[in-house]
Amino acid sequence: MQLSGSDIIVRTLIEQGVDVVFGYPGGQVINLYDSLYKYQDELKHVLTAHEQGASHAADGYARATGKVGVCIATSGPGATNLVTGIATAYLDSVPLVAITGNVPNSVIGTDGFQEIDITGITLPITKHNYFVGAVEDLADTIREAFKLAMSGRPGPVLVDVPKDVQIAMYDYEPYAPVLPDEKQAAKAVRIAQAAQIINEAKKPFVYFGGGMVAAEAQAEMLALAEKIDAPIGCSMMGVSGVPTDHPRFLGMQGMHGHYACSTAMHHADCIIALGARFNDRVTGNRAKFAKNAKIVHIDIDGAELSKTVSAACGLRGDLKQTLQKLLPQVEGAPKPQWMAHIAELRQVEEQGQDKREGMTPFNVLSKLNEHLGEDTPVATDVGQHQCWAAQYVKFANTRRFITSGGLGTMGFGMGAAIGAQMGTGQRTVLVTGDGSFGMNLNELATAVANKVPLVILLLNNGVLGMVRQWQTLFFQKHYSNTMLDARQTDFVKLAQAFGAQASRALTLEELEEALTAAFACDGPYLIDCAIDKDEFVLPMLPPGGSMDDIIVKVGD
């Protein structure tokens, strides 16, 4: 069957099982958009307000579903607007295929109108990228991009298609959806070594990140923790990987992690790290990090082993299969003393819990918890609200906390929440702050246009709270450019102007009313929720510090 290149792109996406793409039209993808028009009954296209929103939406869709997210942009500024979204996906290992148009081959290299070297620009933030110079290569390149995005450690792949290639005709035959490369367990000799280290441990700690979620190794991980009698903690990317109320789960570790979790990890003599990469927000001062622990590190990406902290045993392989082979080799050994210590740490944490009344972050998010369904995705932006959400929001199911962990992209939330909603069909919550929301609030238009059931819980403190917190603690309260009060944005009117519903909550009673209305609304509903500008995210490990320097209360 002879088809145009642009038809081939759309047919290949459909053949690969894509049901929705996010994008924005423009001069060098006008042919592609004509093909999207032609095949609109088979492939839904969601028009965003900005290409960055499209990239975050594809990312949110992928995080919530585990499938490959797809975004489309035109050449030049369209393509560069995807960059932050691609980088966000890269740092969090999210499978994404970005398709960009470019000027025709005859113009490439001449600085043509809206020409940009997007493959060059995205080189360090993609797993791989392609410039498709000939229509013969088009379908296979897109298939390869999907395979690569899913295989091994997932990540974004970009395919740049010049306009003449979209116009050219070529044979197209549909293929079956590509499968990721076959996964393998780590080497048997390494698994035996790991088992030995684990069996010698008196105080083991199971620590997981986004790689555990991607590998769907939850059952195996819980079985391991059960068998060796270990507590479980996670990185921010792991949140929602196990149910929040699981008795072995201590929550998030790291700079703003739960006290019991960070402390337990610090006291452990063996850390079993599963699909986590020990970045600086996790380790603090590397030289002082978990000094008495032997680290058993399992990851699909061999380059993560001993990259930042040295592992006593590094295992490269698929987490699920490796754990399946490891499980019979570890001894079922109860560790009552260690678990008693963990219980004490939990108690200390509970006693230190914020018990103030009123609109504290804890109370606000506890209220939110009452309205969440088991399967409700909760997306965030980046900053204080993100850390509070990671600490306080309760999850029952995996892939339901949608957050930019690695890149820390303010403005991620709106697009990501829309993508997560469309991927899951579930009403979705966005917890955001006035700073982050200000970056990409234009995507309210997308949410309204598509009647996205979206609860936007805007924690409005009139400041860039996370930076302010640092300025308070480490910069003598020099609040340099972190006060937003001069802006005078009325977020309720703003949301209404976009055609969304909205209300303001100054008290917990008003919040309850607003949440009830928002969770019954068939489109986006924004709650402008006032909180104090001097709320802190606690505990906090000061940058470059260790667990010995943990700040649990203000004034410590």
Residues labelled catalytic? 51, 113-114, 163, 466
Cα–Cα distance, 7 to 165 (Å, whole number): 11
90 sits in which H/E element: helix 83-91
Min dist CB 305 to other proteins, Å, is 8
Nearer to other proteins, 187 or 451 (CB): 187
**In a 3-state reduction of DSSP, which class is residue 165?**
helix
Rounded to a whole number of angstroms, the minimum distance from the CB of residue 153 to other proteins is 8
Question: What is the distance between the alpha carbons of residues 437 and 356, in angstroms, rounded to a whole number?
Answer: 27
Q: Whose Cβ is closer to other proteins: residue 204's or residue 211's?
A: 211
Find residue 313's DSSP bridge partners. 296
How many whole angstroms from its chain centre is CA 153? 14
CB of 237 closer than 8 Å to CB of 265: no
Helix axis angle for 384-392 and 465-474, nearest 10°, is 100
* Shortest distance, position 124 Cβ to other proteins, whole Å: 5
Return d(Cα 304, Cα 388) in angstroms, integer.
Answer: 28
Helices (H) then strands (E): counts for the chain: 23, 20
187 or 478: CB nearest other proteins: 187
Query: What is the contact surface with other proteins in residues (CB under 8 A)?
Result: 119-120, 123-124, 127-128, 131, 148, 301-303, 305-307, 310, 316
Cβ distance to other proteins smaller for residue 229 or 301? 301
Return the HEC string of 188-200. Answer: HHHHHHHHHHHHH
**Cα distance between residue 164 and residue 102, in whole Å:** 9
* Torsion, Cα of 475, 478, 482, 486 (10° steps): 170
Q: Which is nearer to other proteins, 90 or 412 (CB)?
A: 90
Residue 131 Cβ vs other proteins, minimum distance, rounded to whole Å? 8
Measured from the CB atom, the residue of 276 and 387 that comes closer to other proteins is 276
Residue 72 near residue 29 (C-beta atoms within 8 A): yes
Q: What is the smallest separation between the CB atom of 379 and other proteins, expressed in angstroms?
A: 29
Closest to other proteins by CB, 148 or 237: 148
Q: Give the distance, in angstroms, between the CA of residue 105 and the centroid of all CA atoms in the same chain.
A: 36
Nearest residue to 391 (alpha-carbon basis) of 417, 360, 418, 415: 360
Question: From start to end of 169-277, where are the E strands?
Answer: 169-171, 204-208, 232-234, 249-252, 270-274
Give the shortest CB-556-to-other proteins separation in angstroms.
Answer: 36
| Angstrom distance (rounded) from CA 67 to CA 17 | 9
Neighbours of 79 (CB within 10 A): 30
**Choice between 250 and 300, CB closer to other proteins:** 300
**Residue 212 Cβ vs other proteins, minimum distance, rounded to whole Å:** 20
Residue 180 CB partners (closer than 8 Å, separation 6+): 147, 150, 151, 152
> Which burial class, exposed, middle or buried, applies to 143 when counting CB atoms under 10 A from its CB (0-12, 13-18, 19+)?
middle
Question: CB 115 → other proteins: shortest distance, Å?
Answer: 17
